[in-house]
Amino acid sequence: MSGDNPHLNGTGDGSNGSEDVEMKEQSENSKKHSKQSKDKDGDDEMTVVVPPSKGATPTAPTKKTEADTANGAIGEDATQVDEVPVDPQEKAITDIKANLPLLDRAVTQFDPRFSLRVLRTISSVRKHLTAHVLATVVVESYPVPTATAVSLLSAVKDDPTFPSEKVDSWHSRKEAQTSSSKEVLPEIDVYLSILVQVYLYDRKWIDAGAQFSSALVEHLRTLNRRTLDSLAARVYFYYALFFEETAPLPPSPAAAVISIRKPLLDALRTATLRKDQDIQAAVTTLLLRNYLSTSHVTQADLLISHAKFPMTAANNQIARYLYYLGRIRAIQLSYTEAHEHLTSATRKSPTSYKASGFYQASTKLLIVVELLMGDIPDRAIFRQPSLEKALQPYLQLVQAVSAGDVTGFQNLVQRYNATFRKDDTYTLILRLRQNVIRTGIRMMSLSYARISLRDMCLRLGLDSEESAEYIVAKAIRDGVIEASLDHERGYMKSKEVGDVYATREPGDAFHERIQACLVLHDESVKAMRFPMNQHRLELKNAQEARERERELAKEIVEGEMDDDDAPGGDFEGL
């Protein structure tokens, strides 16, 4: 028991004696060696707290002040070294230079994944791109001035941050050029050119960017390297983007985008012959975008019928192709095909808030196509954070169509006229007037057993009873409503509604879901990637296994076996 050997805290007069010191030392030693001196029996260790003397005054804990830190009064353990802020431009230079060895590895190992990794870093470097950053990277990457390096520097020399002195000293290296200098890869040239394109586009120097991109595209036509495919596809993207914002703007018949159709078609033909799938996919989507911007739908349809899109392309290119294909089919009144393509494009598009532009555009067009098909979109679509604000006009449009309110629909189209034109859905929305009228007729057929054509004209805002009779007759023929017309008496009589489960609607709904799952499975299988030359390794292993089997069979035939292993041998266990 711990009370058998009491420890007196000091002497009887209440003063702290020498035993306090010994007890304090023992407690300190016990704290230092607590992990090593624990008993296996699990006895608790008693902690003794020594109260301070009455004459002692409590001292406040010391706090670090700026004077103490400056004078070195506080040790290094008590101070925290402030992190030195990193210059964003220096970090951008370091990141760009770190991508150059990746391009070298992409060429030596013939692996496009390194080039794709480099392209993914452009978004992080983009916000810190300046003339100083680009000029510094060019000067430090090129040992001697070359034609490509000079063109890169001349594209950004008008910026006030351009380091003229450093560039002038770099130009003087041409005299000290030696044969031992390593030649810069074309992939590095194209990568730095893409950064210049991004810099010019962000500064809105459209004319300079269009001129620089045209020269860059002409230079790419002279190169035939598979390691340049992903980089060249990005070059063509910015090339088309510059001309889309060059005056005169589309949809003018004399738009500047029409002038780049021949170079893009030449690039598509060359990429098809060389089997450059990256360039082929990118240029195909750019041509479709070009044709649709000037309302040349027939030419876009001819391009789709004659040019085969590579389905093994990148996911973003497939999503763009499906979006433009859905838009073309919607304009051509093929709403079922358009709905399939737009649904696939929406599923493949990024749903993050920072990259929701394409997702919003594809969803807007999908909503309009669903309304044209006679369906009502799900309300959950409008509740997504990335779509809630952008789809506000379309939510009101869906409400007007579902309610069959013709007057409210016309007022809504006039109110959001500029928004619908900006989204390129205005002409499709104008077709919804017949759907709104059909919805109103369907609701009246469900609400009334018999209703006169005059009352229908007043509720739907139609001009005459003849037009109402024509619309009702067409709705009955299309199967929208189950009713009959009495021309002499001028009314519509609805039929009794049967059991919906006795029709084909549930089966069609299940068929659509099963078909969507099968398409998703097929796309997932196509998107699977396997290591290169893995089949050769498997064949080699199989060949080695067969050789071992032959050797084993040969040993068995030649009789090279132990007596115990031979048939009929004696075993000690028996």
CATH code of the domain covering residue 490: 1.10.10.10
Domain boundary among 473, 498, 523: 498
| Contacts for 405 with CB less than 8 Å, ≥ 6 apart | 436, 440
Q: Is the domain of 390 the same as that of 455?
A: no
What are 413's two structure tokens?
Answer: 């189209």
CA 67: distance to chain centroid? 52
* 101 domain residue, yes or no: yes
Residue 109 Cα to chain centre, angstroms: 27
Query: Would you say residue 153 lies in a domain?
Result: yes
**Pairing mode, strands 483-486 and 491-494:** antiparallel
Six-digit token string for 521: 């499975």
How many domains are there within the chain?
3
Tell whether 215 and 321 lie within a shared domain.
Answer: no
Q: How far apart are CA 546 and CA 554, in angstroms?
A: 12
Torsion sign over Cα 445, 450, 452, 455:
negative
Same domain, 407 and 351: yes
In a domain, 426, yes or no: yes
Phi, psi of 452 (to 5 degrees): -80, 155
Residue 450 DSSP SS3: strand
Residue with tokens 């950004």: 156
Instruction: Give me the amino acid identity at 7.
Output: H
Question: pLDDT means per 10 residues in the chain (574 residues)?
Answer: 43 42 44 44 47 47 44 44 72 91 90 90 90 91 88 88 84 58 85 94 92 93 89 94 90 88 93 91 95 92 92 88 95 91 89 80 93 87 89 92 85 92 92 84 79 80 77 77 78 73 82 88 79 68 82 79 50 43
Q: Alpha helices, DSSP H only, in 260-381?
A: 261-274, 277-293, 297-306, 315-331, 335-348, 357-372
| Burial of 497: CB neighbours in 10 Å, binned 0-12, 13-18, 19+ | exposed
Question: Are 220 and 105 found together in one domain?
Answer: yes
Strand partners, 486: 491
Same domain, 152 and 199: yes
Range of the domain at 156: 87-171+184-246
Q: Are 261 and 250 in contact (CB under 8 A)?
A: no
- Tally Cβ neighbours within 10 Å of residue 78: 11
Task: Check whether residue 107 and residue 234 sit in a common domain.
Answer: yes
- Whole-Å CA distances, 178 to 62, 175, 181, 183, 338: 65, 9, 6, 11, 61
- pLDDT for the residue 311: 81
Alpha helices in 351-416 (DSSP H): 357-372, 392-403, 406-415
Q: Is residue 294 part of a domain?
A: no
Which DSSP category does 356 fall into?
-
Strand partners, 535: none
CA dihedral (404, 407, 412, 418) positive or negative: positive
pLDDT of residue 134: 92
Residues 391 and 462 in one domain: no
Contacts of 385 (CB under 8 A, 6+ apart): 353
Q: Which of 206, 227, 246 is the last residue of a domain?
A: 246
Distance (Å, whole) CA 210 – CA 203: 13
Q: Is residue 509 in some structural domain?
A: no
Residues ≥6 apart with Cβ < 8 Å to 155: 196, 200, 208, 212
Rounded distance between C-alpha atoms, residue 185 and residue 291, angstroms: 35
498 alpha-carbon distance from chain centroid:
47
Last residue of a domain, one of 498, 517, 537: 498
Q: What is the dihedral of CA 328, 334, 335, 341, to 10 degrees?
A: -50
Q: Is 506 helix (H, G, I), strand (E, B) or coil?
A: helix
Q: Are 208 and 352 within one domain?
A: no
Query: Which pLDDT score is estimated for 213?
Result: 94
Q: Are residues 209 and 330 in the same domain?
A: no
Cβ atoms 95, 121 nearer than 8 A: yes
CA distance 378 to 479: 23
CA neighbours closer than 13 Å in the CB half-sphere of residue 231: 31
pTM of the predicted model as reported, rounded to 2 decimal places:
0.70
Domain-embedded: residue 329: yes
Contact 321, 284 (CB under 8 A): yes
| Contacts of 174-182 spanning 24+ positions with Cβ under 8 A | 174/144, 174/145, 177/144, 181/143, 181/144, 182/143
In a domain, 417, yes or no: yes
Torsions phi, psi for 216 (to 5 deg): -70, -40
Predicted local distance difference test score (pLDDT) of residue 164: 84
Sheet of 450-452: strand order equals 450-452, 491-494, 483-486
Peptide bond into 506 cis (omega under 30): no
Same domain, 358 and 453: no
Q: Are residues 351 and 493 in the same domain?
A: no
Whether 543 maps to a domain, the answer reads: no
Q: Where are the alpha helices (DSSP H) in 142-276?
A: 147-155, 164-171, 186-202, 206-220, 229-244, 261-274
Based on the fold, state whether residues 206 and 154 are members of the same structural domain.
yes
